[in-house]
Structure 1
């Protein structure tokens, strides 16, 4: 069996083998981290119980609301530019690092100031948000990941991330055994981000690179910001329409118990989100190269990309929907039983992640990232309005329905309202013909 698989891989083009190799490393990394994180995360949720677990989730999602400012939307642009011009890496990485460091500091002050205004009498929530927000400063070191991703050498960051994951899991387990309060788990999250930054530096140096060689260029910073400012607004808008449900559940309802139920369901549903993310990371550099070589083949391969995303959606959504009561009871216990109904509905929203990542890749390669801003703003406004109406009346179920409606509008319907995006809409519709989608995927590997 292994010999046949090896022979099949050898028949593939060198570029496709490189993509598969890089994706395999990322996949192994995410499976390991997902398994470890899920087990320990569920243990933490059982320990904290729905109310405190909901409170910690609120702090994390509230900080994430401002995360677009910390990374300045540079990820996709930097990976693309490094793939195009590897020799200019020191200037690109140095400038991106400086910009993201400034963004992290701004995010910290903005987040802490905002929560102080919103909840002036809630000391615990303000401390939780402040501790989690401090981690945004260390996100500047994610520029190292951009380099490895652009060169399809993710095995180095995989090793670094796995070491940190083991340390973080051990720390959280120790905190549970000691019997600490919810504040300690926020501190553990901060420690994780700091350790990850250190591990990335070690991985970068061990590969023969030196951070001392980085240089910051004002002209390069202007060029990056000129293109990324739209992605900053887009990232903020994306977060609002993707995660405002959790922030609003924690804000509109009297306590965070409902948010605890909702967060447990979302965590199970989003377990497989790493798959479209790592496929995106591996394919973006290759699509950038392929567009230059053969535009026709490039579009054919993009259709297959959407086909794969469509099949992944169905393969995850159907079994999770049917088994949701058993999954919740086994994983979280009877105290989270209310999460099963939420999960059975929410899991169908995974098409938003799958097709959304594929569309983002197309927009990045085509230099049409401004559409991300338009679509995200529409999605953010839609989701906030729906949540304002549905959450007070239906709680977590209302937030789930709002998410499904918003994703369908933004990811599928709106493509047909923009001339440049209709090709994406057609690709999505074609991919929903599962028979033909499978046929195209099989032809690719034959």
Structure 2
């Protein structure tokens, strides 16, 4: 199987699992949001945000490092899995203790219990990352995909049971923990069968190497995650639970689409890591193509969501979430930057320059802290959305500078200009027709595709890439229309 087919296979399996997951997430999020109301839904959102921040201390960049290094040398599997697992077990216990101490200051009993339960689920997921990193290193993402489907199914069934049996917010939180435990058991069994039972190793000299090498990845992840989650946390302190719920409803719609660059970057990290050692010319080529393809997807999504935000929110959440509409119109413009930042971050890691991201992520963290405090006080949820855009765009600019410094340029015309022009034309057509939601989406996608072809955004190389995936008859037809 050639590299392109292998990447496509991994992207396809992850994409399918995420699609199934997000369809099921749509169901249980819709039910839980309407069932719990803005206050309790905001409490669940706060708990997932704060535990998500603490969860970064359970990994410290070890999973990404394991994928990169084992992808280059499979003989290191047992060594990385054993030592990685030992470190992660210790970090998971310490992180849970820190979380318990944190929530015992200034929070009511219900909030504490919800944070404890969801915290345990996040810690369980984090330890399971030891196994999924090995799946990634071997480019066998179908195993990870099945785990994600199992998690989504258990979550959906659990939430529906809570709704129909009138369970409270504690019951909904327990569903998170149960689903995490089920997935951990699955990952353990599958990894043991394919790569051997994990044997905890305590090679302290190797631990020192792991921690030292992964440290820039860890700090970068910590800064980036705090920046990304800070708006929800500061909204909780500076506004009401209802505002948090309204903002989270918009944030979740935007965040749901992040599975696309997540899937893509997960699939390309092992490939990029090997290309850096074997074929740096192909790495530069693949890097530019990756930026192009993700911008072609993200820019029209942002433009279309801005125009159709009212229809989307009313369809998804109902009239009680009307205040979410202006927030969604703003925050969706963080999406193109997030798409690009995933490819840029993965590329930086693959060329062993992860230490270069520390300064950038630290500056973005400061920007997030100061910006959220100022703009949330001034504009509430809309202020938090604006800071999210500012933060993500700043991150992309810093990352582009780092890659450019090492000889990896960005084709601005195909990455930004052409997709934006095509999206503007699409937006004009949607506005003039003013159809219902799904008709607007279909017409918009059709107009955008036609404009992309007219602007000759798809070149011969793109057709060749597609040619390695699709049947020859389809490729010949594409060559004619392009």
Distance 1:437 1:80, change over 3 A: farther
The partner residue of 1:444 within 453, 465, 480 is: 465
Match of 2:233 among 247, 254, 273: 247
Alignment of 1:274-293 (within 5 A): 274-293=259-278
Task: Choose the corresponding residue for 1:113, options 101, 104, 113.
Answer: 101
Q: 1:74 aligns with which of 62, 73, 87?
A: 62
Deviations 1:25-46 (A, max 9, x none): 1111111111111211111111
Contact 2:18 2:148 in 1 (8 A): no
Q: How does 1:25-424 map to 2 (within 5 A)?
A: 25-117=13-105, 119-120=106-107, 122-138=108-124, 139-206=126-193, 208-213=194-199, 215-253=201-239, 255-412=240-397, 415-416=400-401, 421=405, 423=407
Query: Offset of 1:164 from its aligned partner?
Result: 3.0
Separation in 1 of the partners of 2:74 and 2:200? Answer: 13
Alpha carbons 1:46, 1:332 under 8 Å: kept = yes
Post-superposition CA distance 1:115-162 (Å, at most 9, x none): 222x15x22212221221122432212111111111111112222332
Q: Look up the match of 1:6.
A: none
Distance 1:429 1:218 in 2: 49
Q: Judge which range, 131-140 or 260-269, deviates more.
A: 131-140
Is the contact between residue 413 and residue 425 of structure 1 (CA under 8 Å) also seen in structure 2? no
Kindly indicate whether the alpha-carbon contact (under 8 Å) linking 2:135 and 2:144 is maintained by their aligned counterparts in 1. yes
In structure 1, what is the equivalent of residue 442 of structure 2?
Answer: none
C-alpha displacement of 1:443: 4.9
1:424 CA displacement: 5.5
C-alpha displacement at 1:428, in angstroms?
A: 5.6
The CA deviation string for residues 245-279 of structure 1, in whole angstroms up to 9 with x for no partner, is 001001111x2100100101111112221111111
**Could you say if the C-alpha distance between residues 29 and 153 of structure 1 is closer, same or farther in structure 2, counting changes exceeding 3 Å?**
same
In 1, the alpha carbon distance for the partners of 2:406 and 2:233 equals 33
* Unaligned stretches of 5+ residues in structure 1: 1-12
What is the aligned-residue RMSD (CA, Å)? 2.0
CA contact (8 A) 1:54 1:257 kept: yes
Q: TM-score, normalised by structure 2?
A: 0.85
Change (3 A) 1:103 1:376: same
Q: Please report how far the alpha carbon of residue 414 of structure 1 lies from its aligned counterpart in structure 2 after TM superposition.
A: 6.5
Taking the aligned partners of 2:412 and 2:202, their CA distance within structure 1 comes to 41
Mark the runs of 5 or more structure 2 residues left unpaired by the alignment: 419-454, 468-482
d(CA) in 1 for partners of 2:283 and 2:198?
38
Identify the range of structure 1 (22-31 vs 290-299) with the bigger mean alpha-carbon deviation.
290-299
- Structure 1 contact 252–391 (Cα < 8 Å) conserved: yes
Matched residue SS, 1:432: helix
Local SS of the residue matching 1:66 = helix
> Counterparts of 1:274 and 1:370 in 2: how far apart (Å)?
25
1:21–1:152: structure 2 CA closer, same or farther, 3 Å change rule? same
Structure 2: distance between partners of 1:405 and 1:55: 26
SS in 2 for 1:438: coil
Aligned residues: 429
The one-character-per-residue Cα deviations of 1:295-338 (angstroms, maximum 9, x if unpaired) are: 22221121101111111212321222221111111111111111
Whole-angstrom distance in 2 between the partners of 1:335 and 1:59: 22
Q: Determine if contact 2:42/2:245 at 8 Å carries over to the other structure.
A: yes
Q: Distance in 1 between matches of 2:115 and 2:188?
A: 27
1-structure distance, mates of 2:209, 2:411: 32
Matched, 1:22 2:7: no
Runs of 4+ in 1 over 6 A off after TM superposition: none
Deviation at 1:422, TM superposition (A): 7.2
Report if aligned partners of 1:204, 1:210 keep a CA contact under 8 Å in 2: yes
Q: Distance in 2 between matches of 1:34 and 1:334?
A: 22
1:419 Cα deviation after fit: 8.1
Equivalence for 2:427:
none
Calculate the TM-score normalised by the size of structure 1.
0.91
Q: 1:81 Cα shift?
A: 0.8
* 2:341 and 2:395 in contact (8 A); partners too: no
For the 8 Å contact 1:234–1:372, the answer to whether it is kept is: yes
